[in-house]
Structure 1
């Protein structure tokens, strides 16, 4: 397949990343674990109404790894319908390249604007293999691709140059938080290549990422408290150019100290809480997202109580209600 780059999508993503956080909506399930399309539609609509920079359905926070192809089709289709062209829709794809290409075709048919290539399944791979994975996917879809380095996927500067030479690979999401490596990648990338901070709780490291030229970030908090996520983003922008704590009103420090850092400490209690806590917090606010699917587990009673206390404190800081 010969494809050319959709430059309008790149432009829209760049503009969106500059003016707001990136939204990764949760996938709604019924109590029995079956997909809840109506719940997801309501959640996606609420997320999009807060004007994020872009919406990324069926990615890590959206439990891509637990969706079958029909469920994936429904989720991406609903996100595209609710976005209605107002902001880019970037769907997650993953596993080996053959399966990733199947999901890519579904997302393309559903009207997605671009794809986030999640880390491949299970095996460690050499740099040549990581590059070939993207080459195979790019040869099978016309949609722009954003590579996600996390877990067993970590590109060298030389490999970054190779994937950036693939016409439809437009950017990189980083989840390693290795700022030395990331700086080398940003310097190796061609002009206009997109980067964004994809750490588990990206706000914690937002300043550090911005210092190496990566100010855009995804926000799991946006999935349950867009008021907090947007207040942090606005305060961070106000602080730009003034150094740590300079030029702003201290909102960034207050939110980091009293909300984000305690949230990370709570998240680190149990594997998988990076998704489970987000979904539980959304339920605390009456959002129709339902439980997580195995192998994830919902928070314990004690952890849920601590989450509610923390969420209340965070919302109080920005003047919002539970």
Structure 2
């Protein structure tokens, strides 16, 4: 395995798809979102994935988002795209991602059907074989690979990682302990800070952080405290910020996306709170509660001097 065949590590950046009040993609706001994440030290940009409303993007919007991400990153961090859905669509997106200069992609689950393991093997294999880009498979929903299926897929050198959004720790132990460092292990759990301590001991070195879109210094503080066993700081971050936000996130389906946009608007990022159906925007009461939590986060855990201001 060469150095190229490694997935990004640390805190992974997953930008949203900023939209104006008419529901049109706002490319300038997207550029600002990506620049903010890079300046805040996130290790990578994963564009047009779940938080980027992959399910609702047209082909031209997807292309625009990838172009903006690659142009804004300027090689400072790797850019990965989201690919998935029906196999023809997924293959179109992998080809486009390669053409536009992405380093790799995250394979999202196929739609509607509940496939057998052989079908998942063929689905993932077809995508991975289609380009030389790095590939990470997203373990969640109707794309859950057994140890045997994942081992069969290891013949593809392009497959560099598995991102877990399922949280089956028995399966995770079996996968990580059997396969080891042949793959990089990433956590993609909802509000990943809540569960990431359990993943670290299994060899997971990376995670996607929803709150990094608006309070990235809290994500960085959490990650550093976790790796350095600062239990007192971890406890305070959980009690004052992480768990309160997670309680709001669980109030409504779709808040995994819309709550991010609300948080970004609260801290002054030019994103707006418009989301596409079937997602719904954050309710007023929840918005105000999030606003209070974010204020407390900045008051109690101020950003180190020299960081980008709120």
Per the normalisation by structure 2, the TM-score is 0.94
* Structure 2 segments unaligned to the other structure (5+ residues): 304-308
Q: Which runs of 4+ in 1 moved over 6 A?
A: none
Question: Are residues 1:62 and 2:52 paired?
Answer: yes
List aligned pairs for 1:131-210, cutoff 5 A: 131-189=121-179, 191-210=181-200
The residue number in structure 1 matching 2:270 is 288
User: CA offsets per residue over residues 204-258 of structure 1, 9 Å max, x none?
Assistant: 111100122213211111111111111111211221xxxxxxxx26111111122
SS at match of 1:256: helix
Conserved in 2, the CA contact under 8 Å of 1:186 and 1:213? Answer: yes
- For the 8 Å contact 1:28–1:39, the answer to whether it is kept is yes
**Residue among 216, 220, 238 paired with 1:226:** 216
User: Equivalences for 1:111-126 in 2 at 5 Å?
Assistant: 111-126=101-116
- Name the residue aligned to 2:280: 297
Residue aligning to 1:272: 254
Residues paired across the two proteins, number: 304
Q: Which of residues 92, 104, 107 is equivalent to 1:102?
A: 92
- In the alignment, structure 1 residue 24 sits paired with structure 2 residue 14: yes
Which residue of 243, 268, 272 corresponds with 1:261? Answer: 243
Cα–Cα, structure 1 residues 251 and 111, in superposed 2: closer, same or farther, change >3 Å? same
Q: Secondary structure at the match of 2:85?
A: coil
Name structure 1 gaps, 5 residues minimum: 240-247
Q: Distance in 2 between matches of 1:39 and 1:56?
A: 16
Residue by residue, what CA displacement relative to the aligned partner does 1:283-322 show, whole Å, maximum 9, x if unpaired? 1111112211111111111111111111112222321475
Q: For 1:292, what is the secondary structure of its paired residue? A: coil
Please give the root-mean-square deviation of Cα atoms over the aligned residues, in Å. Answer: 1.5
Query: Aligned with 1:87: secondary structure?
Result: coil
State how far apart, in whole Å, the 2-side matches of 1:62 and 1:94 are.
13
Name the structure 1 match of 2:306. Answer: none
**Cα shift at 1:127:** 0.7
SS at match of 1:287: coil
